[in-house]
Structure 1
Amino acid sequence: MPTIEINKKELEHYLGRAVDDKRLQESISYLGTDLEGIEDGVIKVEIFPHRPDLLSVPGFARALSQFMSISKKPKEYKSKSSSYVVNVEKLVNSVRPYTTCAVIKNVKFDDQKIKEIVQIQEKLHITFGRQRKKCAIGVYPLEAIKFPITYTAKDPKQIEFVPLESRKKMNASQMLSQTSSGRMYGHLLEGCKTYPVFLDANNEVLSVPPIINSHTVGKISDKTTDVFVECSGFDYITLSQCLNMIVCALSDMDGDVYEVKVHYPNSVKKNPELKPKKMKIPFDLVNKRLGLSLSKQDVKKALLRMGITTEKDTALIPPYRTDFISYADIIESVAIGYGYQNFEGTIPDVATVGKEAPLDVFKRRLSDVLIGLGLVQVSTFHLVSKDQVEGDGVWTVDAKTSEHDTLRNQLIDPVLSTFGINRGHEYPQRIFENGIVFLQKGKEVIEQERLCCGISGADTDYTQIRQIMDMIGKRLGLTVQYKESKDPFFIEGRSAQILIGNTAIGRIGEVSPKYLAVYKLEVPVAIMEINLDELFLKVD
């Protein structure tokens, strides 16, 4: 989890008053963050992943001010209309198709504020942006660029500019090997024939996302007062949320926010979108889940301490909060706002004896066998993209990102995705995952425990993965049989059904080149996937 450093005097500036260390320590801990310490006027705080809005000093001060009741009402963020335009061309569809943009004026930058802006970018890149894969951020001095801005894609050899903190002009291909950012993030453009680029009306390069800004027009200084901010990536909602966090932080630095019209080939978006999100407050569930007897007014008071205003029985979620997905998030906010220290402990009047579930004991035994065979256990998300399910999957309503909008119904794609992510590492690679998949039977969704093992390497073949399945059968005292079959995941003639007696419990084979290409894998992969629920029933 990321740690931020906050200058105490700067924090007190945003709070509007001095606060003694003891009160500060208590409030920071109760807010739901981990205080590492206060030393020499510097506060070190560990921020949990679900609160990226706290990664900036203004954002942290905003939350703390509300929680400590210093601020009586949360600030309402609004943008002013403007004539600023960014044109997005179709050419970026295959590289980084979306961008969100804003202009902020009248920020009095000094060394401290510049340091804060750099910290916001770095921390959001690492966490919310997944090392710039999901989201890349650019901040530019407005006086150095001319609108309209064009977001397009070009041959990297035709993109020439002076990269940030560099002295010589180079093209985008050279930039990947000759700059530290290029070496660190160049893999994100691996295999791309064209690179995304922001150009101003003078055809001046602003940046090549997600790698680096231009030194000429992409570096802010203590003379800067107005800035242009852009976020680029693959999911519009993610980019909009990221932009909101940056914009609100700059607004808290006394900046004035101006909207930017982003013209896509088939639509026009106005950024930033600062209207609060509305969620119904589940008053009955709040008390049921927390074991309290709070009145509606008490619930609203607790939410206000968390910076959330209310309108009748509706919570108004601020634009910089990205962690509100369901009613459970409202209940959690009520609990923190009420104060965990105010909960009274009670001794249950029912005596129970707990023990590990038999299926979990069985799964642990299998894991021990596989680890002994040199496999590394991995754990992937239950939610995947729609193209990573087999047949009709179970889709989520109002998904926040297209990368995680469907419940997985097999483990082969997630394991292949893991190989794809780690293709730059040493081979051979041997991994396994045991986890839940979700199958739709009529109107019912059934959970099923499965095990998937994969081997990837230059000499990987069907025999190697079968040896692993044979060893599992031997350790469990079962006779494993194989029946040749056709499976779209596997090469024809190198795949089979896995049987225990007359019961088919899984499938095994060498992965088809078609699927290897999807995950940009250049070495053979062999995989087996079995139904652990069925296998468990076969064990004596």
Structure 2
Amino acid sequence: MPVIRIAKWDLERLVGRTLSNEEIMDYLPRIKCEVETISEDGEIEYEATHDRPDLYSVEGVARSLRYLLGIKSLNYKFIDEGVKAYNMGVPRRPYAAFAIVKDLELDHESVKQIMQLQEKLATTYGRSRRKASIGVYDLDKFKMPIYYELRDPDNTSLVPLNEAREMSLREILEETEKGKIYGHILRDWDKYPVIRSSDGKILSLAPIINSEDTRVTTYTKNVLIDSTGLDPRTVVDAVTIMATSIAERSTSKKIIFVDTIMPDNTILQAPRDKGPTIELHLDDAEKVLGIKIDTKNIVEYLEKMGHETVEISNNNIKIVAPPYRIDIKSWIDIVEDIAMAIGYDTIGVKADKLPPATHPGRMHSLEYISRLIRKILVGYGFTEITSYMMSNPQTQLEMFGLKDKKIITVLNPKMDKYTGLRRWLTPGLLEVIIENKEKQSSMKIFEIGDVAIPDPNTETGARIERRIGIAITHGKATLTDGLAIVSTLLNRLKLNPTFEKTHIKGMLPERTASIKINGEEIGFVAEIHPDILYRLDYQFPVVVSEIVLNKLLIILRQ
């Protein structure tokens, strides 16, 4: 979950009343924000769930708290002024959406929050800008309409954000920090996508960096928001979340629609002015929650979560979700909001249909060993990473020459990168190393996560294993580095491992060993074959290890 930082005084300003630390610790979890710390100087650090990107800045949190506390909120004013943008055709990143927010009052903290929201959205919901990226511009520094188009990377230039000189698009990819981080998205393109104003200004090299000339500052009164990406719904979602959050800083709450004319003359309008309409049967809600709810109370609960009740007929309720609530897909999501509005603690006291608990709550043993190993590795200077469980055959199998293996695939994948479930952690660890090779040449990373291995002997056709994956890379990394950390880790658990030479495709034959405890094989440690690293344009050796924690747990229980 992304970590968000906000100022308590700013939150109170937007909510409209003071909040004690105790209230913050109580209220934020009710809107799916887990408070990490509240510092002495009033900085609140919290984690927001991935399904609530509208809470990635103080504006969204304040808005949700106002609803929860029954504080009246001013509604946004969605206005159609006939504003248009033109998508001139970018085949490999085909969609662009835009919106305008007017009459802003900004200070340094509010600008900081806008930038945080933009970056967190692009990193999480936008999949590190591959699926979607976001830009925010001072509308008064250029002329509408705007154009999304391809331009020659050597003959097109702008002054990148935080830079002092004009650079060509190609120079931006090679010389700026953002270009080095995200340049792989465009590097093999013949022409690069830009957003251009009608007076000829290049507002951004999408999805890499915006122009310094259109930077949002404390003097900015009106902004243009853009999102470019691979999917029309995603870019409209991103623009809607940005626009409604930024509008919390507007004195008029004016949000202007922008119609983007596509190459085929169809129109993609943004932002969204309302969420989906959901029909909820009261009986279904009561069955899930285990308590009786009358229609009068349910309207109050829905209002506490920002929903609008548009029709009540007998036990059926028709609800319109807020436009920024992209997590609302069906009636069960509405029931979850009702549960949060009532309070899980209250439901626990009132519920008479929930099964009785047979024992006190406790941590699962697999989670316990995962947490223990995590602490040990962090103590030895390792950095934990988290990669997606979704992957693809090329990354999981073909790269390592595992032609005789298979992965669990999905029927209708939305992206080529995510067509199935990973069967081991090593490819994800290697991917992180490759993506960060420009930043540092020495890395010690690990991941604890589940893998799905095809197994016809199981009921589901797959065997789920919890694994720890470890990777070490530096100029002189060898198998010895891997053996040392595995031995140290298992010794800390009072286990004595032995290592036996083995063969794993994709690994150096003479530098690959199985890990055994009491004769039971629990994993491997190896050096990745240099041929693979050469194809990935990586110059240092990489040592990896994987241990099956399910097997380790059985041994520890003996």
TM-score bucket of the superposed structures, by smaller chain: 0.7 to 0.9
Match of 1:188 among 182, 185, 200: 182
Per-residue Cα deviation, 1:222-246 (whole angstroms, up to 9, x for no partner): 6865x43212456655433221012
Q: 1:145 to 1:484 in 2, by over 3 A?
A: same
Q: 1:411 deviation in Å?
A: 1.2
Asked whether the equivalents of residues 500 and 513 of structure 2 are also in contact (C-alpha less than 8 Å), the reply is no
Q: 1:532 to 1:21 in 2, by over 3 A?
A: closer
Q: Is 1:3 matched with 2:6?
A: yes
Aligned residues: CA RMSD: 5.0
- Looking at structure 2, the residues matched to 204 and 47 of structure 1 have their Cα atoms a distance apart, in angstroms, of 38
Match of 2:103 among 102, 105, 108: 108
Asked whether the equivalents of residues 28 and 64 of structure 1 are also in contact (C-alpha less than 8 Å), the reply is no
- Looking at structure 1, the residues matched to 479 and 36 of structure 2 have their Cα atoms a distance apart, in angstroms, of 52
Q: 1:458 deviation in Å?
A: 1.7
* Matched AA of 2:224: F
Q: Is 1:229 matched with 2:225?
A: yes
Asked whether the equivalents of residues 138 and 220 of structure 2 are also in contact (C-alpha less than 8 Å), the reply is no
1:452 is matched with which residue? Answer: 469
- Looking at structure 1, the residues matched to 411 and 142 of structure 2 have their Cα atoms a distance apart, in angstroms, of 44
Q: 1:523 deviation in Å?
A: 1.6
1:321 is matched with which residue? Answer: 325
Q: Secondary structure at the match of 1:432?
A: strand
5 Å-filtered alignment, 1:335-350, equals 335-339=339-343
Q: Which moved more, 1:314-323 or 1:53-62?
A: 53-62
* Matched AA of 1:299: I
- Looking at structure 1, the residues matched to 360 and 14 of structure 2 have their Cα atoms a distance apart, in angstroms, of 49
Please give the TM-score of this superposition, normalised by the length of structure 2. 0.71
2:400 is matched with which residue? Answer: none
Match of 1:461 among 459, 472, 478: 478
Q: 1:302 deviation in Å?
A: 0.8
1:423 is matched with which residue? Answer: 437
Asked whether the equivalents of residues 154 and 197 of structure 1 are also in contact (C-alpha less than 8 Å), the reply is no
- Looking at structure 2, the residues matched to 507 and 200 of structure 1 have their Cα atoms a distance apart, in angstroms, of 56
Q: 1:3 deviation in Å?
A: 0.5
- Looking at structure 1, the residues matched to 215 and 373 of structure 2 have their Cα atoms a distance apart, in angstroms, of 54
Q: 1:416 deviation in Å?
A: 1.8
Asked whether the equivalents of residues 160 and 212 of structure 2 are also in contact (C-alpha less than 8 Å), the reply is yes
Match of 1:378 among 377, 381, 384: 384
Q: Secondary structure at the match of 1:145?
A: coil
Specify every segment of 5 or more residues in structure 2 that has no aligned partner in the other structure, as ranges.
398-405
Q: Is 1:293 matched with 2:296?
A: no
Q: 1:435 deviation in Å?
A: 3.1
Q: Secondary structure at the match of 1:435?
A: strand
2:48 is matched with which residue? Answer: 49
2:157 is matched with which residue? Answer: 160
1:242 is matched with which residue? Answer: 238
Q: 1:124 deviation in Å?
A: 1.0
Asked whether the equivalents of residues 433 and 451 of structure 1 are also in contact (C-alpha less than 8 Å), the reply is yes
* Matched AA of 1:481: E
Asked whether the equivalents of residues 141 and 218 of structure 1 are also in contact (C-alpha less than 8 Å), the reply is no
Asked whether the equivalents of residues 84 and 261 of structure 2 are also in contact (C-alpha less than 8 Å), the reply is no
Q: Secondary structure at the match of 2:469?
A: strand
- Looking at structure 1, the residues matched to 489 and 529 of structure 2 have their Cα atoms a distance apart, in angstroms, of 25
- Looking at structure 2, the residues matched to 260 and 274 of structure 1 have their Cα atoms a distance apart, in angstroms, of 13
1:511 is matched with which residue? Answer: 528
2:205 is matched with which residue? Answer: 208
Asked whether the equivalents of residues 501 and 512 of structure 2 are also in contact (C-alpha less than 8 Å), the reply is no
Per-residue Cα deviation, 1:150-170 (whole angstroms, up to 9, x for no partner): 332542x43323445766544
5 Å-filtered alignment, 1:57-68, equals 59=60, 62-68=63-69
Q: Is 1:484 matched with 2:488?
A: no
1:277 is matched with which residue? Answer: 276
Per-residue Cα deviation, 1:444-485 (whole angstroms, up to 9, x for no partner): 143212232222122223454355556778863454433334
- Looking at structure 2, the residues matched to 24 and 469 of structure 1 have their Cα atoms a distance apart, in angstroms, of 43
Asked whether the equivalents of residues 150 and 198 of structure 1 are also in contact (C-alpha less than 8 Å), the reply is yes
Q: 1:119 deviation in Å?
A: 3.8
Asked whether the equivalents of residues 140 and 229 of structure 1 are also in contact (C-alpha less than 8 Å), the reply is no
* Matched AA of 2:183: L
Q: 1:238 to 1:370 in 2, by over 3 A?
A: same
- Looking at structure 2, the residues matched to 441 and 327 of structure 1 have their Cα atoms a distance apart, in angstroms, of 35
Count of residues paired in the alignment: 515
Q: Secondary structure at the match of 1:509?
A: strand
- Looking at structure 2, the residues matched to 428 and 27 of structure 1 have their Cα atoms a distance apart, in angstroms, of 40
* Matched AA of 1:430: K
* Matched AA of 1:152: L
Asked whether the equivalents of residues 482 and 496 of structure 1 are also in contact (C-alpha less than 8 Å), the reply is yes
5 Å-filtered alignment, 1:383-394, equals 383-386=389-392, 388-390=395-397, 391-393=406-408
Asked whether the equivalents of residues 164 and 219 of structure 1 are also in contact (C-alpha less than 8 Å), the reply is no
Q: 1:85 to 1:172 in 2, by over 3 A?
A: closer
- Looking at structure 1, the residues matched to 474 and 45 of structure 2 have their Cα atoms a distance apart, in angstroms, of 39
Q: Is 1:529 matched with 2:532?
A: no
5 Å-filtered alignment, 1:99-138, equals 99-104=95-100, 107-109=102-104, 112-113=105-106, 118-130=111-123, 133-134=128-129, 135-138=133-136
Please give the TM-score of this superposition, normalised by the length of structure 1. 0.73
Q: Secondary structure at the match of 1:244?
A: helix
- Looking at structure 2, the residues matched to 7 and 363 of structure 1 have their Cα atoms a distance apart, in angstroms, of 38
Q: 1:126 to 1:282 in 2, by over 3 A?
A: farther
Q: Give % identity.
A: 20
Asked whether the equivalents of residues 416 and 519 of structure 1 are also in contact (C-alpha less than 8 Å), the reply is no
* Matched AA of 2:390: V
Asked whether the equivalents of residues 375 and 432 of structure 1 are also in contact (C-alpha less than 8 Å), the reply is no
Q: 1:221 to 1:158 in 2, by over 3 A?
A: farther
1:86 is matched with which residue? Answer: 87
Asked whether the equivalents of residues 195 and 204 of structure 2 are also in contact (C-alpha less than 8 Å), the reply is yes
- Looking at structure 2, the residues matched to 492 and 267 of structure 1 have their Cα atoms a distance apart, in angstroms, of 57
- Looking at structure 1, the residues matched to 376 and 61 of structure 2 have their Cα atoms a distance apart, in angstroms, of 47
- Looking at structure 2, the residues matched to 29 and 471 of structure 1 have their Cα atoms a distance apart, in angstroms, of 41
* Matched AA of 2:149: Y
Match of 1:408 among 418, 422, 426: 422
Asked whether the equivalents of residues 394 and 438 of structure 1 are also in contact (C-alpha less than 8 Å), the reply is no
